[in-house]
Amino acid sequence: MALDPSFIGRTYPPTPPYEVGREKIREFAVAIGDANPAYTDPEAAKALGYPDVIAPPTFPFVITYQAAAQVVNDPELGLDFSRVVHGDQKFAYTRPVRAGDRLAVTVTIDSIKSLAGNDVLSVRGEVHDDSGEHVVTAFMTLVARAADEAGE
């Protein structure tokens, strides 16, 4: 069943602040195999002009994906999460994420399309720090696969 296009433009409440820690940044950098010292060494980050370590460019996925759960779990939208796959992810930065940032995400449904029986949702997550400064916008595409002919 196709998702209701009247949800396009729906914005969900901001998430509680997520405090970005040095250790979380280090763990993420290790997990993705990126040895950039700006992610683990405060002095290396300061040499590049940052006040503390910065996060790898894909780090905001950690908090924006959690924020997108508001969309996925919205009972009015009726999205069947068992059929959802992550289709695409992009980030548009104002500045890097830094250790010590307290970040909140506001999620909006930008589009809903039906392609070959699949529902395709474009979700945007605006990430701001606790002073209100924009840090990054995450663009996520979620695909709810169509049921097969057996209804599965």
DSSP code of 51? Answer: S
The residue among 54 and 1 whose pLDDT is bigger is: 54
Percent of the chain with pLDDT over 70: 96
Q: How far is it, in rounded angstroms, from Cα 64 to Cα 91?
A: 10
Give residue-wise pLDDT tens across range 15-59. 999 999 999 999 999 999 999 999 999 999 999 999 999 999 999
Point out the least confidently predicted range of 29-33, 66-70, 100-104: 66-70
Task: Assess contact for 83 and 145: CB atoms under 8 A.
Answer: yes
Q: Token digits for 140? A: 């996520």
Q: What is the predicted pLDDT for the residue at 117?
A: 86
Give the list of residues 6+ apart from residue 102 with CB closer than 8 angstroms, or none: 17, 18, 19, 20, 129, 130
pLDDT of residue 78: 86
Which of these ranges, 25-34, 71-80, 100-109, 125-134, has the smallest mean pLDDT?
71-80
